[in-house]
């Protein structure tokens, strides 16, 4: 049996950085990864997908050149092999950077293999047994495949496997109208494929307020994406030239099907029962406000704990754990204000509560909206789709949440994220003097228009 000061299972965006901090403190750490360092973000999430989004936007801008007085003769051609190779290069640069970083650390042992608990302090991997007083789980999540008629009879794609596609689908059917599915839908439409989105619920991006969901649908429809919401009785069958996707109200002749109906944690094969670690009904590991499980000496970080399936929330889990365990701090999960983005174009930047959540919480609220068509930067760039929305508490004057669907919305939202984290009241932020011409300059104006509902 090999002994360590700590064992980290999973090489995503929390565990490796915590491992590095512990090594800096003179600890002996084992980092176990079953596949690739970097987790979903580096290998099948943010980095490759946003690289693909960038290629798709380049194609869109090239096709739109005439609007700006720029004429490109002939058709805009897409070389999917080059597109895929570019995304792979970005991934490999990041992955190899992590490999090199850890290789240079005395006290760090990286083990590739599948770890399972033998007891609360012991794990086995590759036939060896390792023990440590502290064990950190950062095992991530994977795509969920729903039990739909015919799904196991077709060669479907997931958000992981579609990244390896180096040919252009004739017609891509996307099953699931949430964040991952919508990004791939617009991306492949811009590459030149026909695209249909099939969503069981009544709206796309159902987490958002209805006005945001409707605006997202308008953006996608304006680019020729076929959207089917409220779809039931979804079934698949092989056809002579691809796959038939049938619903209660539509029949789609697709060449490829992307299943994007959510993700589930990679916790079902860790031997958690042997350690006594509790999970909820969906398989997420139950943690307290400091990310500790019910078993002393075991923590769960990142997607597997169900508290934010994002790279930045996973990294923040590392920050919370490191601050509490290594720096003598007292940081809590409950202090985190959730923010995220939807990377369609224009992007959606979101922070805090939706209007629906704010109303349900009992706050006396103020709301302000402003169309992007009234933003100078948006008009200058010819990108006026979407709108801004902010919700505030009428009594405390604190901002409760905001949504910016529009050009640079994923960047502009950070002004509000920072204000909310600092506890700044909206009247104080209203008197800031932003730079012109930017999208952010409209934040004080937006706040100035807050009205009771």
3-state secondary structure of 28: coil
By the 10 Å C-beta count (0-12 exposed, 13-18 middle, 19+ buried), 222 is classed as exposed
Active site includes 256? no
Pairing of strands 399-405, 348-352: antiparallel
What's the token pair of residue 120? Answer: 């609360």
Is residue 429 within 8 Å of 447, Cβ to Cβ? yes
Helix (H) or strand (E) holding 217: helix 210-222
CA dist., res. 57 & res. 309, Å (int): 25
Is residue 285 within 8 Å of 313, Cβ to Cβ? no
* Cβ-defined contacts of 48-54 (< 8 Å, 24+): 48/87, 48/88, 48/90, 48/91, 48/163, 49/87, 49/159, 49/163, 49/183, 49/184, 49/187, 49/343, 50/343, 51/86, 51/87, 51/90, 52/83, 52/87, 52/163, 52/187, 53/183, 53/187, 53/343, 53/345
Within 284-364, strands assigned E span 298-300, 339-342, 348-352
What's the token pair of residue 234? Answer: 């979804």
Give 99's contacts (C-beta < 8 A, 6+ positions apart). Answer: 37, 110
What's the token pair of residue 391? Answer: 């919700």
**Which residues are identified as catalytic?**
436
């Amino acid at each position: 049996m090999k002994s360590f000061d700590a064992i980290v299972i999973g090489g995503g965006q929390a565990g490796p950085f915590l491992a590095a901090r512990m090594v800096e403190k003179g600890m002996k750490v084992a980092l176990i990864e079953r596949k690739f360092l970097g987790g979903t973000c580096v290998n099948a999430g943010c980095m490759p997908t946003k690289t693909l989004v960038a290629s798709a936007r380049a194609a869109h801008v090239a096709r739109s050149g005439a609007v700006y007085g720029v004429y490109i003769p002939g058709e805009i051609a897409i070389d999917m092999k080059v597109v895929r190779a570019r995304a792979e290069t970005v991934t490999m640069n990041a992955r190899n950077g992590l490999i090199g970083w850890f290789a240079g650390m005395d006290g760090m042992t990286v083990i590739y293999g599948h770890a399972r608990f033998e007891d609360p302090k012991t794990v086995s991997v590759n036939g060896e047994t390792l023990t440590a007083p502290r064990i950190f789980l950062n095992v991530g999540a994977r795509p969920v495949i729903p039990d739909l008629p015919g799904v196991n009879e077709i060669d479907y794609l997931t958000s992981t496997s579609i990244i390896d596609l180096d040919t252009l689908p004739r017609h891509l059917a996307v099953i699931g109208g949430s964040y991952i599915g919508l990004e791939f839908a617009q991306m492949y439409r811009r590459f030149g494929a026909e695209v249909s989105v099939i969503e069981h619920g009544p709206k796309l991006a159902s987490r958002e307020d209805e006005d945001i969901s409707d605006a997202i649908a308008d953006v996608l429809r304006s680019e020729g994406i076929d959207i089917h919401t409220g779809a039931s009785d979804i079934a698949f069958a092989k056809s002579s030239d691809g796959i038939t996707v049938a619903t209660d109200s539509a029949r789609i002749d697709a060449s490829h099907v992307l299943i994007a109906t959510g993700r589930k944690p990679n916790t079902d094969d860790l031997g958690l029962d042997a350690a006594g670690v509790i999970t909820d009904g969906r398989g997420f590991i139950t943690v307290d406000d400091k990310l500790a499980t019910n078993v002393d000496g075991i923590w769960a970080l990142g997607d597997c704990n169900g508290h934010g399936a994002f790279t930045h929330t996973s990294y923040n889990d590392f920050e919370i754990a490191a601050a509490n365990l290594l720096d003598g701090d007292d940081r809590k999960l409950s202090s985190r204000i959730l923010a995220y983005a939807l990377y369609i174009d224009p992007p959606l930047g979101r922070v805090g509560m939706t209007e629906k959540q704010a109303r349900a919480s009992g706050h006396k609220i103020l709301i302000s909206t402003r169309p992007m068509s009234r933003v100078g930067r948006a008009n200058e760039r010819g990108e006026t789709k979407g709108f801004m929305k902010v919700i505030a508490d009428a009594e405390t004057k604190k901002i409760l949440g905001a949504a910016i669907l529009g050009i640079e919305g994923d960047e502009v939202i950070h002004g509000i994220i920072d204000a909310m984290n600092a506890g700044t009241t909206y009247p104080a932020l209203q008197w800031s003097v932003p730079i012109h011409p930017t999208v952010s300059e409209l934040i004080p104006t937006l706040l100035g228009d807050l009205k009771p509902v």
